[in-house]
Chains A and B, each alone.
Chain A
Amino acid sequence: MLKTFPLGGVHPPENKLTAGSKIKVMSVPKAVYIPISQHIGIPSEIIVNKKDKVVIGQIIAKSQGFVSANIHSSVAGTVTKIDKVINSSGYKQQCIVIRTDVKDETNFVKEPFPLKKEIELSSEEILQRVSDFGIVGLGGATFPSHVKLNINKETNIDCLIINGVECEPYLTCDHRLMLERAEEIIVGVEILLKALNLNRAVIGIENNKKDAIANFKKITDNNSKIQIAALKVKYPQGSEKQLVKAILNREVPVGGLPSDVGVVSLNVGTIFAVYEAIQHNKPLTDRVVTVTGKKLENPSNYWVKIGTPIKDLIEEVGGLPKGTRKLINGGPMMGKAIKNTDVPVTKGTSGVLVIDEEEASRGKAENCIRCGECVTVCPMGLEPHLLMSLSERGLFERMGKEDVKTCVECGSCSYVCPSHRPLLDYIRFGKNGVIKLEKAKN
């Protein structure tokens, strides 16, 4: 019996076109555009100037405040300007533009570091380094990891959960990472267990990645601290709260965090970044990105330097196919549609998806036929049809009472609605309105 979360969920077609493609190293871009806001929290403060020479891993923006992160240069080169570059929402944001020095060999290293198993740093040193090296949640949420790992003594944490679920269709970056760097990931888990002083970790993987599950099970055969949990393929299994419920059968209370039920959960990509930071002294400067789409010539997975413009990635896979209608930064359920391929790859970019008219078109919105499908599929137990009709009328206070803030924006409701109603659009608008209302009250 595969474990799963009991409430809601949908099963969109998986389309894991790149599950069998080994991760290739992306050719080095001519320039990188590194935004100062790649994480949840306060944008970082720029500490370099025009014409400064930087090396790979050099800190170029400092974290401001507790919920913030350091940002490091992903190439060796010269800072050409500090300018506004378009982001995934089409708005322009402040970026540090670094021109790559093509003569510097450190930019072209292709070999991965050799595996190092001994953990030499102490618990405090590990946590300090996670903070210094700008590590944030690489599952897409980009929450600064040192904040998540900063557990105060009163909370009773007993389990570390590693999110290897990757429930979004099309994306395979975590899958390939788990297949190709499994040993490193296990060392990363051990590092975190030491840092948090825990002795139990569970890696959750969806059952459509049987090879990864088998691989991990083989490696952790003699390890009593680490277990592997195969999970039923259902979206949004990768959502933190649903993952904790499925693996440990603990429900995070409304408005709470996984730490309230004794759990800390991190993405496998983040664990790998922690391994590289602790064992090889490497800050977060690159990540795996899946470039995919049914009409692309060769969809693949790439190691990409942070700040590479997406148009470089598209060129690498053979250019935009004819009839492309949508370019998505992320997966099809929660990703952001972009119009301009100048958008740079950030710490939270897990994939670039190219889809055509057939898959992309939104049907015309019709009247709600009260079928109740949206209620059936909502993993948080909300009523999207009600939230949408309240949002249309601007009744934000009532929406707050209907627990709209617990919505994880997974998109299952809009996905199933037979009348093609833009449920999630209005729910997001409502969440915004509720938050503004609460701010005004305070």
Chain B
Amino acid sequence: MSSQPIVISASPHVHSSRTSKKLMYDVIIALIPAFLVSVYVFGLNALLVTAVAVVSCLLFEFLIQKYLLKSEITIGDGSALLTGILLAFNLPPELPIWMIVVGSLVAIGVAKMSFGGLGFNIFNPALVGRVFLLISFTGPMTKWTLPDGITGATALGTIKEGLMFGNTISDLGSKIPSNMDMFLGVTGGSIGEMSALALIIGGLYLLIRKVISWHIPITILFVIGLMTGIFWMVNPEQYASPLIHILSGGALLGAFFMATDLVTSPMTKRGMIVFAIGIAVITVVIRLFGAYPEGISFAILIMNAFVPLINSNFKPRRFGAKIKSKIV
């Protein structure tokens, strides 16, 4: 029977049961529905890509912490695991394994560790990995496998190409998956962005568990819907409907899981809304007027760079600061 000495510390002497590990694992749980749909549609490929990404991320973090930085090993905190899963969810199911490993190295080594580790990175590591792969290996990164095994383009990709060749939306007709297909998840796309329903369930789980607040995801989706809605009402033949924009292209994945990443998003509610509006506007501009059919990854990374500025300018209101008159 060991008697431990009395402990002295400063107040407070109790702590809430929230820990950062619990937050990470909650996000991983929220991604399970999307993962299950993905495995159902793509089979073992989905499992393989995810497993490779997760293992590489954990491995690289371990190696860098142990041999390069010679600091504490923190791979058990769930952040590298989460980065691996999110990176995998942004990749097409047929991507060669070695590319996934390179992507993980960039995500962990460049985007996270070189900034100082967890909490110090400015850019979302999974997105940095994904964008790096997209720019370096554009071909394999845009080779989407449709549910019936045939390779093709995503909904947005089809629309963009079609418009470039002078077709109108109604011409493309059956080539664009129906809204219900996109909702349930029987379209082509990267592993994570397929089933809108699964992603919405995950998002709701995060909101209920108070891991994220509604400000970023709802604002992003609202502004995307609003902007694309305006363009669609003006010219429905040149611009796809807002429903298509929201349900496809990783908008839901980005809004609920990537933009809300705690480390790289602003810390006050007003700042979050500004951040979200910025992401939505840039996404829509890229989608409608840019060269890429999908813009949310770039939009999030661009706005990540503005987050320190947003944090300094959108400070919380100090208690007792805005006093109009002495006695109300």
Q: Check whether chain A touches chain B (CB < 8 angstroms).
A: yes
Contact of B11 among A156, A334, A367 (CB under 8 A): A334
Q: List B residues 1-58 near A (Cβ within 8 Å).
A: 4, 6-16, 18-20, 22-23
Q: Mark A218-256, 1 if CB is under 8 A from B, else 0.
A: 000000000000000000000001000100111111111
B-chain residues with CB within 8 Å of residue A367 when the two chains form the complex: 117-120
Do A251 and B320 form a contact, CB below 8 Å, given A324-B6, A337-B9?
A: yes
A309 within 8 A of B: no
The reply to whether A360 and B12 form a contact with Cβ atoms under 8 Å apart is no
A145 within 8 A of B: no
Contact of B118 among A330, A369, A383 (CB under 8 A): A369
B263 within 8 A of A: yes
Do A7 and B317 form a contact, CB below 8 Å, given A357-B4, A370-B267?
A: yes
Do A403 and B318 form a contact, CB below 8 Å, given A362-B15, A367-B119?
A: yes
Interface of B is mostly: loop
Do A385 and B19 form a contact, CB below 8 Å, given A325-B7, A332-B13, A367-B117?
A: no
CB-nearest residue of chain B relative to A408? Answer: B319
Nearest CB of A to B131, in Å: 21
Nearest CB of B to A338, in Å: 8
CB-nearest residue of chain B relative to A378? Answer: B316
Report the Cα distance A383→B266, complex, angstroms.
12
B-chain residues with CB within 8 Å of residue A360 when the two chains form the complex: 7, 13-14
Do A380 and B318 form a contact, CB below 8 Å, given A335-B11, A370-B267, A411-B11?
A: yes
A311 within 8 A of B: no
Q: List A residues 308-364 near B (Cβ within 8 Å).
A: 323-328, 330, 332-339, 353, 355, 357, 359-363
Nearest CB of B to A37, in Å: 20
A82 within 8 A of B: no
Q: Mark A382-405, 1 if CB is under 8 A from B, else 0.
A: 110100000000000000000100
A20 within 8 A of B: no
The reply to whether A326 and B267 form a contact with Cβ atoms under 8 Å apart is no
B-chain residues with CB within 8 Å of residue A249 when the two chains form the complex: 328
Q: List B residues 232-289 near A (Cβ within 8 Å).
A: 262-268
Nearest CB of A to B233, in Å: 37
Nearest CB of B to A28, in Å: 27
B-chain residues with CB within 8 Å of residue A10 when the two chains form the complex: 16
Do A363 and B6 form a contact, CB below 8 Å, given A254-B320, A372-B268, A382-B316?
A: no
Contact of B326 among A261, A337, A418 (CB under 8 A): A261
The reply to whether B14 and A415 form a contact with Cβ atoms under 8 Å apart is yes
The reply to whether A362 and B9 form a contact with Cβ atoms under 8 Å apart is yes
Report the Cα distance A376→B45, complex, angstroms.
42
Report the Cα distance A420→B265, complex, angstroms.
20
The reply to whether A328 and B318 form a contact with Cβ atoms under 8 Å apart is no
Report the Cα distance A248→B8, complex, angstroms.
39
A371 within 8 A of B: yes
B-chain residues with CB within 8 Å of residue A327 when the two chains form the complex: 6
Nearest CB of B to A228, in Å: 21
B-chain residues with CB within 8 Å of residue A252 when the two chains form the complex: 320
Report the Cα distance A63→B268, complex, angstroms.
47
The reply to whether A418 and B119 form a contact with Cβ atoms under 8 Å apart is no
A58 within 8 A of B: no
B-chain residues with CB within 8 Å of residue A383 when the two chains form the complex: 267, 315-316
A414 within 8 A of B: yes
Contact of A332 among B12, B20, B23, B320 (CB under 8 A): B12
A-chain residues with CB within 8 Å of residue B19 when the two chains form the complex: 363, 418-420
Q: List A residues 63-118 near B (Cβ within 8 Å).
A: 90
The reply to whether A363 and B8 form a contact with Cβ atoms under 8 Å apart is no
Q: List B residues 281-328 near A (Cβ within 8 Å).
A: 315-321, 323, 326-328
B-chain residues with CB within 8 Å of residue A262 when the two chains form the complex: 326-327
Report the Cα distance A228→B7, complex, angstroms.
40
Report the Cα distance A360→B318, complex, angstroms.
31
A-chain residues with CB within 8 Å of residue B327 when the two chains form the complex: 156, 158, 250, 261-262
The 8 residue pairs across chains A and B that have the minimum distance between CB atoms: A411-B12, A372-B267, A367-B119, A418-B20, A381-B318, A371-B262, A254-B320, A380-B319
Chain B residues packing against A (C-beta within 8 Å): 4, 6-16, 18-20, 22-23, 74, 77, 117-120, 262-268, 315-321, 323, 326-328
Q: A7-B317, A375-B316 given. 13 additional CB < 8 A pairs? A: A253-B321, A254-B319, A256-B320, A323-B4, A324-B6, A337-B9, A355-B13, A360-B7, A363-B19, A370-B264, A403-B318, A424-B12, A425-B10
**25 intermolecular pairs with C-beta atoms under 8 Å apart:** A7-B319, A12-B16, A90-B8, A249-B328, A324-B6, A326-B9, A332-B12, A333-B13, A333-B14, A339-B8, A360-B7, A367-B118, A367-B119, A369-B23, A369-B263, A370-B262, A373-B18, A375-B268, A375-B316, A381-B318, A383-B315, A409-B11, A415-B16, A419-B119, A420-B19
